[in-house]
Structures are given as structure tokens and as C-alpha cells.
Amino acid sequence: MPDQHLLPDVIGNTPLLYLRKASELTGCHIYGKAEFMNPGGSVKDRTALGIIRAAEQAGELQPGGVIVEGTAGNTGIGLTLVANALGYECVIVMPQNASEEKISQLEMLGAELLLVPSVPYADTHHYIHTAERVAAGRRKDEAHGAIWARQFDNPANRQIHYDTTGQEIWQQTEGKVDGFICAVGTGGTLAGVAGALREHNKDIKIGLADPMGSALYSHFAGGGLRAEGESIAEGIGVSFVPGNLAGLELDFSCRVDDDEALPLIYDLLKEEGISVGGSAGINIAGAMAMARELGPGHTIVTILCDSGSRYQSKLFNPEYLWKRKLPYPHWIAN
Ligand code: PMP
């Protein structure tokens, strides 16, 4: 009898890729968890599954029920796929400036899509606040339940990374891991993996790679929630402290400029055949910064959150990059 895997069964258990150039340049062993190989193409498939399973267990969702979420895209894609597989509906609220690829993919998957203006978090029309209102409205007349996935402070988000991503990294490195670093969108990945790894070995260093435009670097440095500059990386960078980060202590943190992250993405694709999106570029730059801090010979793991193909119209569009004075891939520069 062949295996009869269903979609939720094939989320996670992603390979750990060796990042050759990043390792050579730093004298460390740098690995990237290939989260772009999840069925929905990103690390957020794990979050989607974790949140839906937790809601089922809490009795908040029966087949035919509705899941509402505010998301820059990847969580929406993960939630919609898992919802389709398990018999739920999805309403996704996203900012209008999300990449065309993500918007058209969500339409293709059959999510009910609500595009709202891209406004600061303090504005009540921000996509996260809108999602909360939409969920509250649907809950009133939905016989099978309606949940707001609230990935920023839903403990199920952090928990799934503790249960799966963190344990996988420990096993795949055979416990020989010295540091883990990544950027924060909801903080589920960073906090969940940190919890799992530190439980195995309290000396493992945990780091934050913060893109420009995010306030977390300043927050962890004791300077309050202050942001500087901007980044084209989607899905990461926040102007508030997500609930997932409660109690998290960092050993290392750095700020990463797009000018530094983008060439890493282009080189990784051209020289190692690995295609990743903007947040993975920030993560690799962060892993290299951590490697320089720890010194040669250490093993550092980061996350390759999604694929470059999700951002063809931005990361691989010379006109888009040129207008923003950003570096572009040398092989499409002429
Ligand atoms: N990269 C991308 C492309 C994402 O969509 C997200 C999710 N927001 C992240 C990184 C960050 O992951 P997390 O939400 O676990 O902090």
C-alpha cells in the first residue's frame, strides 16, 4: 500500500541546506532551513497548520467554519491551503502594497480577499485591525465557528515552531549548533525555535536580524520602539512587539540593510542554485554577522522563508530596483 499523505502531513520536515559561500566567507558552517519547500512555498504553512489544529482542539472551529487573518501574504497562502484540505473557508485581509504574485496566488487558491490601504499599525484601518473586526462580524452568524487566526500573539504559532522547526534543526545538526538567527514578522519562528534549542542546550546563541524600517533592533538595544529607513523585504519588520516575543532574551542582534541583503540573494541563486525571497537575504546577512561575532568554526542556522519566484515583480525587476537605488542581479542588468 503506497503512503496516503494528505496536505497537512507534508508540511515541515524541510531540508537543511548548506550555504556554501556564506560559510566560506565567514569560516563558519552556515545552514538555511529550506522553508520554501513547504507545499504553500513558505515557513508560514507551519503556522497555518498549528493555528488551525489548536482552534479545532479548543472547539472553536467545525468543518465549514471560517478562518480570518490579516497577513502580508504567506500566512494567507498557508491558511487557505490547509483550510481547503480540511474543509474550512478563509478570509484574508492584506495591505495593497503586497506583491502581485501573492495577491494573484491567493485569488487562485480561492481565498476571499480583502485588500486594504497600507497604513501604520496605529491606524484602525491597518490590515491586522481590519481582520479582527471582520472575524468578530463573521462570528455572529457563522454556525460552524469563525476564528481570527491572530498570528502575532496566538501561542499556537510559537508552539508549532517549538514542536517542529526547532526540533528538526536540533536533529538535522545532530545537536552541533552554536547559533540560530532570523528576522521577525510575527516572531513565531524566532521565539519557538529559540525555546526548543535552548531547552536542548542553554548555551546556543539566539540572534535577531532586523530589516531597516523595523523597530525591534532599537527595542532590544533598550532604545525604545524606534525605526529608521525602509526595506523592500516582505513579511518581516514590525513597529510593535508581537506577543510571540514575550520573555525572549537575545544574545545577539543586528540591523541589515537591503543593499547588503539583495546581493546575497542574487549570488545564492546564481552560484548555488537556491532561489529565496527578501527576508531570507536579511536572514543570511544576519547569520554572517553572527558568524563574525562568534568567530570561525561555529555552526549557525537560519531560515530560508520563501522563494524568489514569489517576488519576480520586485526582486528581479531592474526597473523596480533602479527606482529605489537598490542593487540588481548582474545577469539581468543589461
Ligand atoms: N519571511 C517571510 C517571507 C514571511 O512571510 C514571514 C512571516 N511573516 C517571515 C519571514 C517571518 O516569520 P515569523 O512570522 O515567524 O516571524
* Cα 300 to middle of ligand 1, angstroms: 19
* Cα 143 to middle of ligand 1, angstroms: 32
Mind listing the pLDDT tens digit for each residue in 205-255? 999 999 999 999 999 999 999 999 999 999 999 999 999 999 999 999 999
Beta-carbon-side half-sphere exposure of residue 170 (alpha carbons within 13 Å): 19
Averaged pLDDT for residues 270-288: 98
CB neighbourhood size of 263 (10 A): 17
What strands, in cross-sheet order, belong to the sheet with 89-95?
A: 112-116, 89-95, 66-70, 146-148
Beta bridge partners of 238: none
Which mutation among 279, 284, 304, 315 tests ligand 1's pocket best, with the greatest number of atoms within 8 A of CB? 279
Helix count (H) and strand count (E) of the chain?
13, 10
Least confident of 107-111, 236-240, 328-332: 328-332
Sign of the dihedral defined by the CA atoms of residues 237, 240, 243, 246, in that order: positive
The predicted pLDDT at position 177 comes to: 98
The predicted pLDDT at position 296 comes to: 98
Q: How confident is the model at residue 334 (pLDDT cuts 50, 70, 90)?
A: low
Q: Residues with catalytic annotation?
A: 44
- Asked if 49 and 82 touch (Cβ cutoff 8 Å), the reply is yes
The predicted pLDDT at position 333 comes to: 64
Distances (CA, A) of 297 to 27, 177, 302: 6, 11, 16
Nearest Cα neighbor of 260 from 22, 57, 99, 32 is: 22
Q: Which atom of ligand 1 is nearest to the CA of 44?
A: 7
Beta-carbon-side half-sphere exposure of residue 49 (alpha carbons within 13 Å): 21
Percentage of residues in the chain having pLDDT higher than 70? 99
Percentage of residues in the chain having pLDDT higher than 90? 91
CB of 166 within 6 A of ligand 1: the answer is no
Sign of the dihedral defined by the CA atoms of residues 279, 280, 283, 284, in that order: negative
* Cα 113 to middle of ligand 1, angstroms: 20
- Asked if 95 and 117 touch (Cβ cutoff 8 Å), the reply is yes
Mind listing the pLDDT tens digit for each residue in 37-66? 999 999 999 999 999 999 999 999 999 999
CB of 306 within 6 A of ligand 1: the answer is yes
Beta strands in 13-136 (DSSP E): 16-18, 29-34, 66-70, 89-95, 112-116
Which mutation among 186, 210, 245 tests ligand 1's pocket best, with the greatest number of atoms within 8 A of CB? 186
Averaged pLDDT for residues 56-85: 94
Nearest Cα neighbor of 39 from 2, 1, 81, 75 is: 81
The predicted pLDDT at position 115 comes to: 94
Residue 194, burial from CB neighbour count under 10 angstroms (0-12, 13-18, 19+): buried
**Residue 270: is its pLDDT beyond 90?**
yes
Least confident of 114-123, 155-164, 194-203: 114-123
Q: Tell the residue number behind the cell numbers 525555535, with chain if given.
A: 193
**Residue 159: is its pLDDT beyond 60?**
yes
User: Do the bridges between strand 205-211 and strand 252-256 make them parallel or antiparallel, or are there none, so unpaired?
Assistant: parallel
* Cα 235 to middle of ligand 1, angstroms: 5
d(CA 209, CA 256): 7
DSSP for 107-168?
Answer: HHHT-EEEEE----TTSTTSHHHHHHHHHHHHHHT-TT-EEE--TTT-HHHHHHIIIIIHHH
The residue whose C-alpha atom lies closest to atom 7 belonging to ligand 1 is: 235
Mean of all residue pLDDT scores within the chain: 95
CB of 184 within 6 A of ligand 1: the answer is yes
Nearest Cα neighbor of 181 from 262, 101, 58, 293 is: 293
* Cα 51 to middle of ligand 1, angstroms: 15
